[in-house]
Amino acid sequence: MKFGILINEGPFTHQASDSAYHFTKAALEKGHEVPRVFFYYDGVNNANKFSAPQADDRNLVKLWGEMASQHNVDLVVCVAAGMRRGITEDSLAEGFRISGLGQLVEAGIGCDRLMMFGD
């Protein structure tokens, strides 16, 4: 099965980012495809290379980037939502890219399921 993932919440204020990461990881481990993860609203904060969680806390920004490189997952940050929150090309973590809502539509059309995490 092919899953598209939509994340609407940031990595430190809501469980949605953790749930999305663990769902995506489990799906890939079971042999499913996850061609794209789209970060929207506060979810764009998952791509901020300047976030610095404590040493004993999980680092979702790093974990998403590692997953992208290991499994060829396209991590797309919404340009409009990113700009509103100060996420630009200069602040993007490795593995992420900025694009528009068309990438979300494409994921919805091209996948069997589009899973949404967060409000």
Catalytic residues: 78
Q: Which residues contact 109 (CB under 8 A, 6 or more apart)?
A: none
- Between CA 34 and CA 73 the distance in angstroms is 6
How far apart, in Å, are the Cα atoms of 72 and each of 36, 53, 57, 67? Answer: 9, 25, 25, 8
For 74, which DSSP code? E
Indicate the pairing of strand 2-7 with strand 113-117: parallel
